[in-house]
Structure 1
Amino acid sequence: MSSVTYKGCYTVRPMEPTKCERVPLSEWDQIGTITHVPTIYFYRPTSQDKDNVNTVASTLKDALSRALVPFYPLAGRLHWINKGRLELDCNAMGVHFIEAESSLTLENLGDFSPSSEYNNLVPNVDYTLPIHELPVVLIQLTNFKCGGFSISLNTSHAVADGPSALHFLCEWARLSRGELLQTAPLFDRTVFRAGEPPLMPLTECRVHKDQFIHPPLLLGQTNNTEERKKKTTVVILKLTKTQVETLKKTANESNSGHARCYTRYESVTGHVWRTACKARGHKEDQPTALGVCVDSRSRMEPPLPKGYFGNATLDTVATSLAGDLVSKPLGYACSRIREAIERVTDEYVRTGIEFLKNQEDLSRFQDLYAIGSEKGPFYGNPNLGVVSWLTLPIYGVDFGWGKEVYMGPGTHDFDGDSLLLPGPDGEGSVLLALCLQVPHMDTFKKHFYQDINVSESCQD
């Protein structure tokens, strides 16, 4: 029985008239994950007084209505046009705002580790509906018995990547506090030639050979249908600052003196990749791919303007044999990851756009398994995706009643999905939110910490 009771669903529209137009999306908006991505923030009790609960809801809705004026495309709807391509209809249809109550207290949630309870705290997206009937953004305010509350967002990845979604959230919070907009969003996608025809034929598109390949399958399998069906579980694992530094030191022991030191992301992600291979029991000759999300904003020439709103993060793929990852030093895994990241240059982005513009149909590049399709790329076994929020300002989001007590990625239940977040202590710890098939999780946790302890003892 659910602990959450839904009190109402409201449509919040822009407070003032906004542009009504069809906006072409860039190729980067239309590949990879095009479903909704959830995040959730929990806040301390302000008061158990019912009038105060109503004040929170009305303040949030009023600020949201004002935020949707500059962020007007978020009040629109996506439309399929042809050949697996999408367009955004800026029609002011609005954002869904759900109000709910929970019979639990924040204390009942313990350390806020992902659980089935989260499913009731994050707005549900009904993917059986046509895409043009789905809001681009859905929000849920859940009031807890103790007077605390959570605010969760489900945001279409076809319209916003992580930095853009966070930009909207922070500006909405700013308006809720009674302050003015700080950074206006820029929706002009001409930098990525959105909606324009190709400049060259496919035969002249010199994309990197690994840029648009589908990740490998398990040895002996001809598809990933069975792997997609397997039951998964989610954990959040913490690395202390000392453990992170140990991984960086271990990674850089095999780094040549001429190379830049491996970063926190490269070191931790290399460790996660190796550990997943061990936990899954891969054969030495099992090919495995790691999806790495790279923000191209500062890699473009010139860099994208501040406030660019859309998808400027794109996936690049690191590949290896599982046997090499496990048998070689951690620095080897890091070197494969760095090689993938450093591919993302202005030329890489622009040639990728030309390649995609020449495709007859984009659907094979879209991660649609959340809505029942098996066409898109699958980063489950034997593969992995590690998204970094390490440098995003995800903490300290204050809507007027103080900063959050916890923020997390909401629900992620696809094998191989993982996310790195900075620890909320601000002292250098790192959190890994990870989804794996149930039989692999305990072994993963064992190796994840055991291998760091081995490294620490070797360095003593």
Structure 2
Amino acid sequence: MVSPIIIAQVIEFECGGLAISLSGSHPAMDGFLDFKFLFEWANVCRIGSPVEEINFLSFDLSNIFPTRDILGVFKLTYHPVIEKDIIVKRFVIREAAMSKLRKKCVDESDGGLTFQPSRVEIITALLWRALICISTTIHGYVRPSLMDFPLNLRSKTSLPQVHNSMGNFRIDVPIKFIPEENKMELHNFIILIRDTVNKVVASCAKASPDEIVSTLVNIYNVSVRSPEWGGNDEVDKVLCSSMCMFPLHDTDFGLGKPALLFFGMKDTQMLWLHDTNIHSEVGVQVDLKESYMQLFECDANL
């Protein structure tokens, strides 16, 4: 049986509200495309939308990245752990809190930052550090941590024809916290995140399609799927997916813009960042094991 590429479910409530759920096949669609698909679908459905304002998706990604047997070069050394007791909570980080955090990062005594960190860098660093502290409380010692940070490559390469392409064009950036090498100040996490992401972006910026594929394979084999990191039970794993700047709150089928967003796989510990309808704020959805969530909500730094 062939699985569908996209499943959409529309629920109409007695109060007149409407919920749209979308599930896409990840080999065919990445997170950016999920929301781009919804956004353009809404444009097509909305009565009165000028056709020139509809940005139809292209299907030329397979011409640039033709089918190849890359599974043969992946070293499948472990199977991901599926969590069963995931609790989901939603938070909003206000602009005033963001300003305080940004000032704290610059003023920290151990060097501080010499650049203005982005909202995503600050929040990701804050949440990741909290999870490492929680793990330390649970296990009694500081453990290595591997954060998987999916990155949309469409605007990160010299391939302009991919900017509006249907398909999966992301790379998962593995960011490693090593207790013996990395410090626990907030700005240390921001620097670690920025340096790792920038290194991957630089490797793809002027790369050919074959070189981009080689970068992806190398990242998976050295980090994500290696027995030292991805396959090591002594390493904590967390995913952080930022959907900030994606066209979430501008998606309008003619019934108004979204009032509530909800994401998730519900089988792994994960952080979801997204814009709210107040663009100076950032929404955060946290999917954690119950034991972690209990400590997360009591974290004094949060």
2:285 maps to which of 422, 433, 442: 433
2:58 maps to which of 166, 186, 191: 186
Q: Please tell me whether the aligned partners of residues 84 and 267 of structure 2 are also in contact (alpha carbons under 8 angstroms).
A: no
Match in the other structure for 1:291: 148
Give ranges in structure 2 of 5+ residues lacking alignment.
none
Q: Give the CA deviation at 1:253.
A: 2.9
**Mapping for residues 264-283 of structure 1, pairs under 5 Å:** 264-280=119-135, 281=137, 282-283=139-140
**Mapping for residues 251-266 of structure 1, pairs under 5 Å:** 251-254=105-108, 259-266=114-121
Match in the other structure for 1:60: none
Q: Give the CA deviation at 1:401.
A: 2.1
Aligned amino acid, residue 153 of structure 1: L
Match in the other structure for 1:337: 193
- Quote the Cα distance in structure 1 between the aligned partners of 2:253 and 2:231: 37
**Mapping for residues 170-249 of structure 1, pairs under 5 Å:** 170-178=39-47, 179=49, 180=51, 182-189=54-61, 192-195=64-67, 228-249=82-103
Q: Please tell me whether the aligned partners of residues 284 and 323 of structure 1 are also in contact (alpha carbons under 8 angstroms).
A: no
Query: CA-to-partner distance for each residue in 1:85-130, whole Å, 9 max, x for gaps?
Result: xxxxxxxxxxxxxxxxxxxxxxxxxxxxxxxxxxxxxxxxxxxxx4
- Quote the Cα distance in structure 2 between the aligned partners of 1:257 and 1:147: 51
Q: Is 1:414–2:267 an aligned residue pair?
A: yes
Aligned amino acid, residue 289 of structure 1: L
Q: Is 1:404–2:272 an aligned residue pair?
A: no
Cα RMSD after superposing both structures:
3.6
Q: Is 1:320–2:172 an aligned residue pair?
A: no
Match in the other structure for 2:29: 160
Aligned amino acid, residue 416 of structure 1: Q
More divergent stretch after superposition (257-266 vs 332-341): 257-266
Q: Please tell me whether the aligned partners of residues 292 and 387 of structure 1 are also in contact (alpha carbons under 8 angstroms).
A: yes
Query: CA-to-partner distance for each residue in 1:252-274, whole Å, 9 max, x for gaps?
Result: 33586884322111111011111
Q: Please tell me whether the aligned partners of residues 284 and 322 of structure 1 are also in contact (alpha carbons under 8 angstroms).
A: no
Match in the other structure for 1:446: 298
Q: Please tell me whether the aligned partners of residues 177 and 400 of structure 1 are also in contact (alpha carbons under 8 angstroms).
A: yes
Q: Give the CA deviation at 1:309.
A: 1.9
Aligned amino acid, residue 134 of structure 2: A
Normalising by structure 1, we get a TM-score of 0.54
Q: Please tell me whether the aligned partners of residues 86 and 266 of structure 2 are also in contact (alpha carbons under 8 angstroms).
A: yes
More divergent stretch after superposition (235-244 vs 188-197): 188-197
Which protein, 1 or 2, shows the higher relative CO under an 8 Å CA cutoff with sep ≥ 6?
Answer: 2
Larger Rg: 1
Q: Give the CA deviation at 1:306.
A: 3.6
Q: Please tell me whether the aligned partners of residues 161 and 310 of structure 1 are also in contact (alpha carbons under 8 angstroms).
A: yes
Q: Give the CA deviation at 1:236.
A: 0.8
Aligned amino acid, residue 211 of structure 2: T
Q: Give the CA deviation at 1:434.
A: 1.0
- Quote the Cα distance in structure 2 between the aligned partners of 1:437 and 1:337: 24
Give ranges in structure 1 of 5+ residues lacking alignment.
1-129, 203-211, 216-222, 367-376, 453-460
Normalising by structure 2, we get a TM-score of 0.80
Matched length: 284
- Quote the Cα distance in structure 1 between the aligned partners of 2:97 and 2:180: 24
Query: CA-to-partner distance for each residue in 1:262-289, whole Å, 9 max, x for gaps?
Result: 2111111011111011222355451111
SS in structure 1 at match of 2:258 = coil
Q: Give the CA deviation at 1:412.
A: 3.1
Query: CA-to-partner distance for each residue in 1:395-451, whole Å, 9 max, x for gaps?
Result: 032112222222222x4312321100112223x12111111111110211221xx21
SS in structure 1 at match of 2:200 = coil
Q: Please tell me whether the aligned partners of residues 125 and 189 of structure 2 are also in contact (alpha carbons under 8 angstroms).
A: yes
Q: Is 1:351–2:216 an aligned residue pair?
A: no
- Quote the Cα distance in structure 1 between the aligned partners of 2:43 and 2:149: 31
1:424 maps to which of 277, 280, 295: 277
2:14 maps to which of 117, 122, 145: 145
Match in the other structure for 1:135: 4
Aligned amino acid, residue 397 of structure 1: T
